[in-house]
Amino acid sequence: MAVPVYIFTGFIESGKTTLIDETLHDEAFNTGERTLLLVLEQGIEEFDEKKAAELNTHIEYIDDFENGMSLKHLNELNAKYKPERVMIEYNGTWKVEDFLNSKIPAGWEIAQIVATADASTFENYVNNMKSFMYEQLRFADPVIFNRCSPKIKKSFLRSNVRAYNRSAQLIYENAEGEIENMDEDDLPFDLSKDSIEISPDDYGIWYMDALDHPQKYRGKTLSFTGMAYPTTQWDKPIVAIGRFALVCCAQDKQFIGVGIVDQDGKGLRPASWMKVKGKVRIDYDPESQSDYISLTQSTLKPAKPLEHPDVVF
């Protein structure tokens, strides 16, 4: 069975240590798996080794890349701890690409690269250390901006990340560590328009916003590319269209999509890539006691598979 490797990047004091610690204490993520934590950078916050041991986590500190991250040394650590999962707090001044291009122990598999950034200092880094910023962000799956204040424009953060990494999912946290929704001005599409084109890079952002605020999209015409499946709803044939999301790791994919209620799916091959255009209607789910989006007045056309088909959160 593959050993997933999670890499946490970002400048010193960007919140990597805190995020790793919170992740290890998250029961939804950590159910006692034997974890090897490689710490390549020590900042102000430090790991509590006693508490880490209680979470079945073994910590190794590495202060130079050439020897500490060599295949020989990693194989030694692999044999010593026999990890079921590896987490790496990467050094903010080292190139992530160097590790991605190096050899790793047999069975290890890169599952996710997470970047953290302090929103309050991000502009300063962009202006003065752009090359370092590029190295920290360009391979990240999600980019987590912490310490977001009301004065910080999320559109500025987003546009600068997109310059380095078009497919990254962006997450915004306030000073209390709570996840914030994007304001309408910060969404990557114009909600004032009657017809909205959802680009492949923005599908995850749109889906989460539509999940939380379906009424905003009532009567809008949406178009996007996804995988279509014949299915049923209320015992009626319909088509579901969407994409698979990597919620935690490659083994934890979930389909996130919407129903097209005026398409019956006859002759449609499951998992066909299609371009849909349809009008939003709002339905109510009594089980969850919430509204959700469906599409009607729709058209479906064959489309090329996306180069990066999975949505990453």
CATH assignment of 3-184? 3.40.50.300
**Positions of CATH 2.40.50.140 in the chain:** 190-312
- 184-226 per-position pLDDT tens digit: 666 788 888 999 999 998 898 898 888 878 999 999 999 999 9
**Positions of CATH 3.40.50.300 in the chain:** 3-184
The whole-angstrom separation of Cα 208 and Cα 313 is 10
Give the model's pLDDT for residue 235.
85
Closest by CA to 3, choosing from 67, 61, 85, is: 85
Write out the two tokens for 202.
Answer: 């923005």
Closest by CA to 41, choosing from 115, 97, 91, is: 91
Strand 142-148 relative to strand 179-180, pairing: unpaired
* Regions of the chain short of the pLDDT cut 50: 248-249
Write out the two tokens for 216.
Answer: 């905003």
Give the model's pLDDT for residue 157.
85
Q: How is domain 190-312 classified at the CATH fold level?
A: OB fold (Dihydrolipoamide Acetyltransferase, E2P) (2.40.50)
Give the model's pLDDT for residue 287.
80
CB atoms closer than 10 angstroms to residue 76: 13
Give the model's pLDDT for residue 252.
60
Could you tell me which residues come within 8 angstroms of residue 200 by beta carbon, excluding any fewer than 6 positions away? Answer: 224, 225, 306, 308
Closest by CA to 41, choosing from 76, 73, 65, is: 65
CB atoms closer than 10 angstroms to residue 252: 11
